[in-house]
Chain A
C-alpha cells in the first residue's frame, strides 16, 4: 500500500538571482527514497535546497504535507579542529537516535570530534541529519568523504530502516543511487 504523500513538486525552477535549475516534477510518499540524478551542473543540489527554502523558487509549486518536518544534510562541513564537542553532543543537537550506528562509530561517541577520522566524522554528521526526528530527509552527496565501510553501512541502513520517512537524495554515485533508491528522477542540464 502506498504511504502518505509527503511532497509534490511540479515544474519547480530554482536558483539564486535567477532560475538556474529545473523544471523538476515528482511526488514523494512516506517510505520512498527518490534519487535526483543528472550531469554535473544540472542544478541537483540547488533543487534539493529549494525543497526546504534554502534558495529562491522562481517557478512551479512545492506542496508539503501539513506539519512536515524536514532534515537537510548539506555538502561539506566546517573545520571542527579544536571544537570541544563529542559525537554524543553532535547527535544530541539534532535529536538523532544513535541506535543503528555502525559498531566502529557507536563505541566512539564519547570522544571529541577532532579525534575521529574524516570518514567517521562525515558519517556522524550524516547520521545527525538522517536519524533526526523528521518526516522528510534531504541528503546532498551523502557518500562524499565516506570510506567503503561507511557507504556500505549507509546503503544497508537506507535499505531496511528508513520506512518512517521519505528521502530525497542527490549523488554523483550512480551505483549508490541504483542500490538504495526506490525511484530515480532525472534532472536535465
Chain B
C-alpha cells in the first residue's frame, strides 16, 4: 500500500476534474430525484459511454462523442416526457448492447470500454478538466435559476399554466444540463461512479437536509467527500476507482439506516 502517488503531479488534473464533477453531480441528482427521474442519469451515462466508444472507433474525440450522445438522449427524453422510465430503460438497453458489441468486436474499443465501465479516472486529461470547468461555469448559475421552476413543477404543477406559461422549455433545459454533466462525468469517472455520485449523495441530502438549500449543500459535500476518499483509497490500494467510489458512497447510507421507504 502506498499513498505517495497522491502527491504526484500526474494525478492532480484527474483529481481536480473529478472533484468538480463530484460537487455538481449530486446537485443534478437532487433535482432528478425531485422529479422521480433518477434512472435517467444511468441512461445518460450508458448513452455517453456508447457515444464515446463510437467516437473512438471512428477516430474522433471520445469526450465529444460521449457528450453528443448524452445530449441526444436528454433531448429525446425531454421531448418524450410522457414515456418516463420506459424511455430510460430502452436507452440503457440500446447503449449497453451497442457498447458491449463494440468492445467485443473492436480491439481499440476493448481497453476504452473497460476504462469507461470500471472507472479509470487516472486517464483523465486536461481536455476533460477544461470541459468540466467550462461546464461548471455554465451549469451552476443556470441550475440556480432553474431551481424554482423545477420545484414548482413538482409541488405546484399548474403554477405556470395558470399564468399562461409553459414549464416545458425549462424542464428541457434541465434535461440538457443533466445530460451534459453526466456525459462529462462518464468519460472522466466511468459509468457507475458517475451514476453513484448522481444517485447516492442526494439520498443523504433528502434524509438529513433541514430545507432545500441545506439538502443541496449536504449532497454536494457528501459527493466531494466520498469522491476524495475514494480517489485516495483506490490510488493507495491500487484498485479501480469506480467500484471503490460506489462502495464508499453506499456505506454511509447503510450505516445511518436511511429508510428507503422515506425517500
Contact A84 B206 (CB under 8 A): yes
Contact A84 B209 (CB under 8 A): yes
A51 to B148, CA, bound (A): 25
- B212 proximity list for chain A (CB < 8 A): 84-86, 89
Contact B161 A53 (CB under 8 A): yes
A107 to B183, CA, bound (A): 44
A90 to B155, CA, bound (A): 8
Query: Chain B 141-177, CB within 8 Å of chain A: the 1/0 string?
Result: 0000000100110111011011110000000000000
A125 to B110, CA, bound (A): 54
- A54 proximity list for chain B (CB < 8 A): 158, 161-162
B214 interfacial contact with A, CB 8 Å = yes
Assuming the contacts A78-B154, A93-B151, A94-B156, asked whether A86 and B162 have C-beta atoms less than 8 A apart, the reply is no
A72 to B161, CA, bound (A): 10
Instruction: Name the one of B154, B161, B209, B214 contacting A52, with C-beta atoms under 8 angstroms.
Output: B161
A175 interfacial contact with B, CB 8 Å = no
Contact B211 A72 (CB under 8 A): no
A103 interfacial contact with B, CB 8 Å = no
Closest CB of chain B to A129's CB: distance in Å? 8
B215 interfacial contact with A, CB 8 Å = yes
Query: Chain B 207-246, CB within 8 Å of chain A: the 1/0 string?
Result: 1111111110000000000000000000000000000000
Closest chain A residue to B147 by CB distance?
Answer: A93
- B162 proximity list for chain A (CB < 8 A): 52-54, 70-72, 138
A110 interfacial contact with B, CB 8 Å = yes
A153 to B209, CA, bound (A): 30
Segment 171-221 of B: residues with Cβ below 8 Å from A: 205-215
A111 to B214, CA, bound (A): 12
A13 interfacial contact with B, CB 8 Å = no
Contact B156 A81 (CB under 8 A): no
Instruction: Name the one of B151, B158, B207, B208 contacting A72, with C-beta atoms under 8 angstroms.
Output: B158
Segment 52-91 of A: residues with Cβ below 8 Å from B: 52-54, 69-72, 74, 78, 81-86, 88-90
Most chain A Cβ neighbours within 10 Å, of B162, B205, B207, B215: B162
- B82 proximity list for chain A (CB < 8 A): none
Interface residues, chain A, with chain B CB atoms under 8 Å away: 52-54, 69-72, 74, 78, 81-86, 88-90, 92-94, 110-112, 128-129, 138
Interface residues, chain B, with chain A CB atoms under 8 Å away: 148, 151-152, 154-156, 158-159, 161-164, 205-215, 262-263
